[in-house]
Structure 1
Amino acid sequence: MTNSTEKPQDSKNESSYNLIHVENTGSKITQIAFNGNNYDEWSQSFKLALLAKGKLGYIDGTITKPSDSDSKFESWRSANALVTLWIYNALESDVRKQIALRPEAKQVWDNIRNRFCQANDARVYRLQAELMACRQGPTESLMAYYGRITTLWDEILENDPLPSCSCDPCRCDWVTVMDARREKKRVRDFLIGLDERFDNARSHILGTNPLPNLNFAYNRLLQEEGVRNLTVQRVDTKPEPMAFVTRVNQGSRGQGGPRNDPPAPSIVRTRCIACNRSGHNYKVCFRVTGLFPEWWGDRPRDRIIVDTSDPNNPVVIKPDRGKERRHNTTNTQPRAHMAAGQSSTPSQQPATSSFDINNMTPAEMVELKHLWESHKSASTDRLNGPFLEDADWSM
């Protein structure tokens, strides 16, 4: 009876001593390297890797060192040296310099744990502070945020486990009640740290009675994120509106043939130098050409003269109505006829139908004064006759 119970233990120890060809001294059994600040994460990953290889007993003390005369001593020493090298390979160079090389893997492991592992209370305090400050970033995905907060929950539970039931077997359903309370707390923690873009979905989940479990909340928010990302992609791939511009047609289109003319430049909105209005130039301005439109009505139709002797630099000579009228009435004879009361033929009428004395130049004012005085003198001479005292009225 005694022999049958010892055989499984001996078989287990035998498998722990065995080495296979893939277990070499230069391999890294975990992808997480210990940098001095991530002991919890690194130790858990390293323990899982050793458990998968059947070598966890070399650091937790379940596999003890046999005596030198034992037939298993050489196998133990080889496996122990291999685990020791695995530990050193999992340390970053700065930490590796601080760890002294020991003959047993358990001694190296205990040295690292005693130096870098925090006390449970201090570690739980730090983890709780990180959990309270855990928030989803504006551009962080829901999966990345869920992974960060799940890691904190697992570490807190490992270092501060829930109290267990004293019943054997359990009849008070204590474990079920505590698990339900822990689940609700995790749902609240998860929803508190969500980014504001999930406000609507968060309100919907909180309004559900009873509060759904964590998996349901995560799946609901994951669907919301998928719909949001699809909408954003559609908006990004939507073509931008075309900017329509008016272009000058510089080419010609053949009858039934393709248009081969080069792309015409966009029309630049110019300003007329004659009337100071935009949208046309002086060449087509009706104030210059004299082709006044019907909507101009009874307003003065004074033309504006533009000097085009230099095509590259046209100059406005008569930009106002008074000066234009003076430019078109260079002959002063019609004014004399009008002042003298003589009739004028249509060809002798001034070109303009309006008269503004305020726009006359000093020279024209002097000329007008002379004309008026001459007219006055001529009229007086015609009306002069004998006074009452004169004897002869026949003259």
Structure 2
Amino acid sequence: MALRAKTKLGFIDGSIKRSTSHKVDYLNWEKADSMVMACIINSANPNLHGSISRAATARDVWLDLEERFAQTNAPRIHQLWCSLCLMEQEPYTSVIEFYTKFKTLIDELNEQQPLPECTCRASKELSQREEDHRVHLFLGSLDNERFAHVKATIINTDTLPSLRRTFNFILREKTRFTAEKERNNKVESGSAFYSFRTSKQKGRDGSKLKCDHCGKVGHTKSKCFELVGYPC
């Protein structure tokens, strides 16, 4: 990325050739090539400096590193696929956190297994199929209790949305679910408070009653134990 930002990527991919036509051009090329070599060496592990610092050009340094480290990492690919297939959203994990973790694994898998570059129709269909696979993996790993409705809506569409749009749908459903839950909690709290106040009010009203026979408060003459008898 740093080399691309400085338009120096051609020194490592071979597109910028060494100039031999003019001395000034060669000096400029040599200066830029040395800068790229220094950038690579400073970015590499210090243990590698002894084996790459004596290379003649930045291209030689890059080819040396590529031959040693640019290998297909089959165990890592296997691990990524296992992690994606076995992922499940934990109850305490937010949708944003879960999507970030899922997208990180997907991006790394794409780096390990990039699609072949092609502009034909078959390539576009293959790319769409890969995107559909990601959407199915993401939906399958979400909490079914909270997102069953929106998951069914997305799956039943004629053309599946992209992974980003799917995440947007899920996020909106999460917002709706949270708002509905808060509203229900407020209703339940209000009902409980009303019941408590009603019971308390009844207690206060009962304490104002006074018996005309015995003169005690809390009951009337018709319920006075001295007249109707005490319970056994």
Do both share a fold (TM > 0.5)? yes
Equivalent residues of 1:99, 1:108 under 8 A apart: no
The equivalent residue for 2:46 is 96
Structure 2, gaps ≥5 residues long: 201-224
Tell me how far apart the structure 1 counterparts of residues 154 and 117 of structure 2 sit (CA, whole Å).
31
Larger Rg: 1
Larger helix fraction of residues: 2
Tell me, yes or no, if structure 1 residue 182 matches structure 2 residue 130.
Answer: yes
The equivalent residue for 1:221 is 170
Q: Write out the 4+ residue segments of structure 1 that deviate beyond 6 Å after TM superposition.
A: 238-244
When normalised by structure 1's length, the TM-score is 0.39
Tell me how far apart the structure 2 counterparts of residues 294 and 51 of structure 1 sit (CA, whole Å).
101
Which structure 2 residues correspond to residues 360-371 of structure 1 after superposition, within 5 A? Answer: none
Question: Residue 218 of structure 1 aligns to which amino acid in structure 2?
Answer: F
Deviation at 1:54, TM superposition (A): 0.3
Equivalent residues of 2:154, 2:161 under 8 A apart: no
Tell me how far apart the structure 2 counterparts of residues 117 and 140 of structure 1 sit (CA, whole Å).
35
Deviation at 1:150, TM superposition (A): 3.5
The equivalent residue for 1:86 is 39
Question: Residue 294 of structure 1 aligns to which amino acid in structure 2?
Answer: E
Equivalent residues of 1:66, 1:72 under 8 A apart: yes
Question: Residue 7 of structure 2 aligns to which amino acid in structure 1?
Answer: G
Which structure 2 residues correspond to residues 1-395 of structure 1 after superposition, within 5 A? Answer: 48-66=1-19, 70-91=23-44, 95-100=45-50, 101-102=52-53, 103=55, 104-119=57-72, 121-122=74-75, 124-162=77-115, 173-196=121-144, 197-206=146-155, 208-214=156-162, 215-230=164-179, 294=226, 297=229
Tell me how far apart the structure 1 counterparts of residues 37 and 181 of structure 2 sit (CA, whole Å).
52
Question: Residue 221 of structure 1 aligns to which amino acid in structure 2?
Answer: I
Tell me how far apart the structure 2 counterparts of residues 61 and 189 of structure 1 sit (CA, whole Å).
39
Tell me how far apart the structure 2 counterparts of residues 119 and 186 of structure 1 sit (CA, whole Å).
22
Tell me how far apart the structure 1 counterparts of residues 90 and 38 of structure 2 sit (CA, whole Å).
39
Question: Residue 56 of structure 1 aligns to which amino acid in structure 2?
Answer: L
Deviation at 1:216, TM superposition (A): 4.0
Quickly say closer, same or farther: Cα 1:65–1:129, change in 2 above 3 A: farther
Aligned residue for 2:23, secondary structure, equals coil
Quickly say closer, same or farther: Cα 1:175–1:110, change in 2 above 3 A: closer
Structure 1, gaps ≥5 residues long: 1-47, 247-292, 300-395
Structure number with greater CO (CA < 8 Å, separation at least 6) is 2
Tell me how far apart the structure 1 counterparts of residues 168 and 98 of structure 2 sit (CA, whole Å).
14
